Structures are given as C-alpha cells and as structure tokens.
A and B are shown apart, each in its own frame.
Chain A
Amino acid sequence: MIEISLTIDTNLVRKILTGFLHDEITRAGYSRAVVNLSGGIDSAVSLFLAAEALGPQNVMAICLPYKSSSADSLEHALMLVNQIGCPSVTINITEMVDPLITREAGMSAVRKGNIMARTRMIVAYDQSEAFKGLVVGTGNKTEILLGYTTLFGDSACAINPIGDLYKTQVRQLARALAIPEVIIAKPPSADLWAGQTDEGELGFTYEDVDKLLLLLVDQRYRPEECIEAGFDEKFVRNVVDRIRRYQFKRVLPPIAKLSSRTVGYDFLYLRDWGT
C-alpha cells in the first residue's frame, strides 16, 4: 500500500473555517447561529467553530433526543454545551415522531431514521427563526461523498464549515479544539436505533475509506490505479458506485429548461451577490 497522508495543519484550517463562518453569516445579515448537537464529533466541531467565530453567547445548541437514543448522546451534548458556555435547548422529538411512525406497523428502520432526521431539521429551522441564527451544518466530506446522509434531514443547513474535511481530518480538528476524548473516540453513529454504527452499516472503516476517497477525488486516481495502489477491488468498486449513485443528494433538484434563462443553468450568481 502506498503512503497516503490525510494530515492537516489544524491552526490553518481553524483560521479559515472560523473566518468563513463569521464573514458569511455576517454578510447574510445575521450575527448568530444554531447547531443541532447530536453528542457526536461532527456537530461538536461545528458548534465549537461557530462559537469561536461568533462568540458562544451567539450560538444556540439544540439537543434532540428520541426515546431510543443512547443516553450517552444527550450527556455528551450537554458536556459540550457546558464546556463552551453557549445557550441550549433540549426537545425530546418522540412526541413529534411517534404519531407518524405508529400509523404503520413494521415500518423499516430506514424510514424511521429518515423521519427522525427530518424532524430534527424542522426543529433546527424553527429555532433558527426564534433565535435569529443561521443553521450551521454538520456533514463531513466522507459522508457527503458516500451519500451517507438523509436528504433534507441532517444534510439541511444554511452554511457548512466542515464539508470539505474527511472524517479522519475532523478528528484532528476536534483534538485541536479540545473536544473531550470520549466524544472523539466513540464509534460514530447516527444513533437512530440501538447498536447502530456508521462503520457497521457502511461495511468499512472511515480510516480506510478516507484514504481511498483522497486518491479518487482529490488526487484524481482512476479506480484501477487505486486497486494497483493496494486497495481491495470490491471495496473500490463499491465506493466508486456510491459516489455516483448519490450525486442527487449533492445538487439542487434539476429544473426542466424551457425559457432562454433558467435558474440553475444560465442564471448564475453567488449567494453573496451584492454583499
């Protein structure tokens, strides 16, 4: 296997990401943010970056347990809230979720998980309006590329500071931000049902897939070259297929073109237009 380094200079990354959050939130006319805090590492990093960029008093942490959520999740989320001293709200989403879930017997775990993720999105956007803060995203580059996310659920946000960092790079940044080791070290999980882990569901580890993604995406290796470099062929084919299959989660829905100027094709402006 060739040497593949995912090491980042955390000072450099931290400087860019806090500047990004501060500038982009401010020019949108806001001075505050809200973050859905799961108790896991990704949302912890987004919360800490937002607090550093805007001041902890300007960031609302939202904790949204469901009845089957692991007790650790809420405990870890509140540990983070205490550490940085930001305002927080805890809303148990069971009474929002269950009326829909219980309408059908034997609903699949995927459907239930999606309903929970999208319920959390509803609460985040409601708190966004109440607190007058933009929703800061918590999706990392690995899960975006693998499509391991609920569309309009956990992927929904106004601005995402960590979407160009692989999971293993998020871990490095988490250590630099002094996020407690217990949160960094625990197995990543969407926590939608008991015992669920990302790596169990995906069938490979973040450490392995991040190296493969770095070659495929950042360094533009062909799949065959990744296999030559020492990656298992089935693993490579699986990941290449996931990247292609989930492109729909990474783009806005296509609009059928009819006129001579159509949003998404030839009506091109940045969001920062005029600011």
Chain B
Amino acid sequence: MKLNLGIAQINTRLGNVQANLEKHLSLAKQAWQDGMDVLVFPELSLTGYVLQDLVPAVACRAESEDLVFRHLLDASREIDLVVGFVDEDTRHRFYIASAYLSQGEVVHIHHKVYLPTYGLFDEGRFFAPGESIRAFDTRFGRFGMLICEDFWHASPPYLLWQDGADLLLLSSASPGRGLNGGPKLETSEWVEHINRAYASLFTIFVAHTNRTGFEDGLNFWGGSTIFDPNGKLVKQAPYFEEALIKTEIDLNQLHRTRSRLPLLRDERPELIQRELERILHDRN
C-alpha cells in the first residue's frame, strides 16, 4: 500500500490564528490537488510558538462548532490533516496539542506530555502537561503523534510502537541553536539522529515536521525529514525555508524490513513492565 504523505514546513504569524488558518486551508487545497493523502503541519501551527500571555487568547477546541476547526474539519473531507494548536479543555486548562482530522471528524488529539521548562523554554509556566500517549487508527494504518520534547524522551516513541503505530508523525517548533563549526546547527543534528534511531530501532516510518521563520531572535530551522523502517532518509525538506513536500511512502516496506529484522516480534514489554515495577518499588 502506498501513502502520499505531505509535510507543510511553514512559518507562522505569532498569535494571529485567522492568518494561520488561511494558510492551512490554502496549503491543504494545494496538497489535495497534488494528490497527497495526509498533510502534516508543525507544532502550534495555528498560533505560533512563543505565545506566553497570548495562550488564552489563541486557544480553541477541536470540534465542529469551533470557528477555526469547522473550516479545518471541512478541509479534512478532502485530505487528512494534522494541525498544531492550543487546546483549552472544559476546565480551562491549556495544552499544546496536535489533532488528526479525517473525513470531517476528529480522529485523535495528542496533548504534549513533556513541556520543556529550562534554558530558553518556558512551556511549563503556560501549559498543562498531557496525560496519555496513544496510537490511533486511520484509513491508512495505525499512526502515533508526538510533539517536540515528547520525542526527546525515548519512552513516548517506544509506547506508540508497542501500541501499534507503524508511522510516527512528529511535529516541532524547534528553535535552532548550537554552533560547533559544522554546517548544521547542533539541534538539527540531534533531532535527525534520534529520528533515524527511532525508525531503525522500531522498524517504523518516522516523519518529522518542523517549522521555519523567526520569533524575535529565535530561528526555526525547518529541515523536516522522513525516515523509513530501515532508518534510511527518504526525504528532507530544506533548512530554514518554507516548503510543501510530497513523499510516496511504500507501507509494504514494513513487511520487508520486519521479515529481515524481527525486533518488534522479539520485544518483551512484559519484562520491561516487571523491571520498571521493581525499579519504581525500590525507589520508593
């Protein structure tokens, strides 16, 4: 089975949801006309990243009555969409969220579990952390979504793998930093390394969508990637430039790779559970 996966590596307007929505709808139309099945936008693609006190003003709900999501849900009748937004729950807690939309329905919402609050990051000050990591079924197979810092930790990709995800849709608004004399920023190197590692270790597809542009002095480096279950780089978007890229993914690669390398078959989650229980018990 083939999947035409689209990556919308975009810049955003900070706190201007209407302008960002229009960009989403226009790219969704373009991607659909170009034959893409799914189009993935970066972290907080509807709002911009360094929101600080703008968080409550840009929050929305992924439901058909919402003035923003009604348009996105309409667009998802033509092409499946992954969008980044601020989710406000019924108790008025705010989450960094990604929604998977398909055929006019919200298929899955992921709340960012790990909120970096160190160095240049201050997410824990403004957002509530997500409480679950779940894979979900789509019309193309079982996928998983994670947001930026979620996949700097090894456990969320592992859990999605064990929950049946064959394609990870990772999204970021990653501020570029770290000069080491080489032609890539240290952040780009690090993210590419771990994306390749997850694809190789879990024999899955890993698609990472990062944003571009600047917010005050922060640069967002783009360079979105798709790795196949062999850990091979299938496609990379340019660094620092906006791009709409289409990649045909051959899902039968899962069959071929896992015939050769049965890491999924041989994985022993029960052993991990036992040892984790022991470790946590001893710690307490």
Say whether A15 faces chain B, with CB atoms less than 8 Å apart: yes
The stretch among A17-25, A43-51, A145-153, A230-238 that forms the contact with chain B is A17-25
Say whether A268 faces chain B, with CB atoms less than 8 Å apart: yes
Query: How would residues 1 to 43 of chain A score, 1 for a CB under 8 Å from any chain B CB and 0 otherwise?
Result: 0000101110111011001100110000000000000000000
Instruction: Report the bound CA distance from A64 to B214 in whole Å.
Output: 32
B14 near A13: Cβ-Cβ < 8 Å:
no
Known contacts A268-B53, A274-B15: A15-B215 contact under CB 8 Å: no
Contact partners of A273 in chain B: CB under 8 A:
14-15, 54
Known contacts A13-B179, A275-B16: A270-B240 contact under CB 8 Å: no
Residue of A nearest to B216 (CB): A270
In the complex, which of the residues B52, B182, B219 contacts A19, with contact meaning CB atoms closer than 8 Å? Answer: B219
B215 near A270: Cβ-Cβ < 8 Å:
yes
What is the minimal beta-carbon distance from A56 to any residue of chain B, in angstroms? 22
A9 near B213: Cβ-Cβ < 8 Å:
no
A267 near B16: Cβ-Cβ < 8 Å:
no
Contact partners of A266 in chain B: CB under 8 A:
53
Say whether B13 faces chain A, with CB atoms less than 8 Å apart: yes
Instruction: Report the bound CA distance from A60 to B57 in whole Å.
Output: 39
B215 near A7: Cβ-Cβ < 8 Å:
no
Contact partners of B181 in chain A: CB under 8 A:
5, 7-9
B214 near A19: Cβ-Cβ < 8 Å:
yes
B53 near A267: Cβ-Cβ < 8 Å:
yes
Say whether B134 faces chain A, with CB atoms less than 8 Å apart: no
What is the minimal beta-carbon distance from A158 to any residue of chain B, in angstroms? 12
A274 near B16: Cβ-Cβ < 8 Å:
yes
Say whether B50 faces chain A, with CB atoms less than 8 Å apart: yes
Contact partners of B16 in chain A: CB under 8 A:
274-275
Contact partners of A15 in chain B: CB under 8 A:
239-240
Query: How would residues 154 to 173 of chain B score, 1 for a CB under 8 Å from any chain A CB and 0 otherwise?
Result: 00000000000000000000
B15 near A20: Cβ-Cβ < 8 Å:
no
A271 near B182: Cβ-Cβ < 8 Å:
no
B52 near A269: Cβ-Cβ < 8 Å:
yes
Instruction: Report the bound CA distance from A230 to B14 in whole Å.
Output: 46
A274 near B240: Cβ-Cβ < 8 Å:
no
What is the minimal beta-carbon distance from B178 to any residue of chain A, in angstroms? 9
Say whether A201 faces chain B, with CB atoms less than 8 Å apart: no
A269 near B53: Cβ-Cβ < 8 Å:
yes
Instruction: Report the bound CA distance from A20 to B16 in whole Å.
Output: 20
In the complex, which of the residues A5, A164, A169, A268 contacts B52, with contact meaning CB atoms closer than 8 Å? Answer: A268
Contact partners of A271 in chain B: CB under 8 A:
216
Q: Among residues 38 to 83 in chain B, which have CB atoms less than 8 Å away from a CB atom of chain A?
A: 50, 52-54
Point out residues on B near A: beta carbons under 8 Å: 13-16, 50, 52-54, 176, 179, 181-185, 213-217, 219, 239-240
18 other contacts beyond A269-B52, A269-B53, A272-B14, with CB at 8 A cut-off?
A: A9-B181, A11-B183, A15-B240, A19-B219, A20-B214, A23-B213, A23-B214, A164-B217, A268-B52, A268-B53, A269-B54, A270-B50, A271-B216, A273-B14, A274-B13, A274-B15, A274-B16, A275-B16
Point out residues on A near B: beta carbons under 8 Å: 5, 7-9, 11-13, 15-16, 19-20, 23-24, 164, 169, 266-275
* A–B pairs, 7, beta carbons within 8 Å: A9-B181, A12-B185, A15-B239, A19-B214, A19-B219, A267-B53, A272-B216
